[in-house]
Amino acid sequence: MIVRSRENWFRMLFVWDGSVLRSIVPQLVFLSLVSIVALVTDGTLFGEKIPLNTTPFTLTGLTLAIFLAFRNNASFERYIEARALWGGALIGSRSLVSTVISHVPETYPGFDRLQFVRRVIAFSILLKHQLRHTEPPAELLPRAKLHYPAAAVLHELRERLARLVHDGAVDQTVAWTWNRQLDELMNVVGGCERIASTPIPFPYAVLLHRTVYTYCLMLPFGLIDSIGIVTPLISVFLSYTLLALEAIAAQIAEPFGTSPNSLALDSIVRHIERSLLEMCGQPVPPPVSVEAHYELT
């Protein structure tokens, strides 16, 4: 993800990193050529005048705008829910570590508090890799070839805490608190898995994609008689708006990806790591930068 400070109005006109313009440049070039052909031929195709005017585009454009708004809203809801879940991962991790530090003596036999905290950090790292379908560091895996490593680490942590309860190191009230906190982290894993495994239904994307491109291809032939020589400029500008909205919706619909507008999972995971190590009085690593010109993968 790319995060920018607020730019002034003029510099915003030329922003490149973090915008979707880079991904739709080929389409805009193609549509520019179509618009120029429409201008040169005066709206004819194979010698026949295409009988279009602005009226059908006004009606179709309204319907298309509503459909684009629906798709963008659906994508944004997925993005916001994913961010809320990772916020829950931060809160849950902090609460669990704080409770363990507060109730388990640092020198309790057979229980290494710092090792426990590092396993909580490993949970967030493994969840990130699971959602991105990337290979995590082998040393973080409790066992090899796990399909759901984040849940496995939480199960491992629950077993460690259960041994403390069985040994009488803590009372049942603390045990109930631990289980509730671990359940919250399990809910985070389940929520992220649900988003990752349930994309927006494919027919919506297909219908929107076809409609947008059909509209943009026909637009210059409908404008040529009314605005003449500026047809390419206006057609490409309108096409940029529609194509960009479609591209934005596609990017934020996959919040765990590595596109410039996906969640900054590297930064979030590092934030969790820094926060938990600080609670233990350990040195903290530097934060991951998400400033402009840095794409986190």
Strands 44-45 and 48-49: antiparallel
Q: CA 10 to CA 293: how far, in whole Å?
A: 19
Question: In terms of pTM, does the model score above 0.75?
Answer: yes
The domain locations on the chain are: 20-279
Q: Using DSSP, how many helices (H) and how many strands (E) does the chain show?
A: 9, 2
pLDDT at 52: 81
pLDDT tens column, 102-125: 999 888 888 999 999 999 999 999
Q: CA 106 to CA 10: how far, in whole Å?
A: 57
pLDDT at 23: 86
- Walk along the chain (297 residues) in steps of 10 and give the mean pLDDT of each run: 60 73 91 92 82 80 86 94 97 96 88 93 96 90 82 94 90 92 97 94 89 91 89 93 91 90 92 94 83 33
Q: CA 67 to CA 183: how far, in whole Å?
A: 38
CA angle 12, 13, 19 (to 5 degrees): 70
What's the one-letter identity of residue 268?
I
pLDDT tens column, 214-242: 999 999 998 888 888 999 999 999 999 99
pLDDT at 293: 31
Burial 75-114 (b: 16+ CB within 10 A, else e): beebbeebeebbebbbebbbbbbebbbebbeeeeeebebe
pLDDT tens column, 41-58: 888 877 778 888 777 888
What's the one-letter identity of residue 249?
A
Is residue 148 a contact partner of residue 130, using CB atoms and an 8 Å limit?
A: yes
Q: CA-CA distances (angstroms) from residue 295 to 209, 284, 292?
A: 27, 22, 8
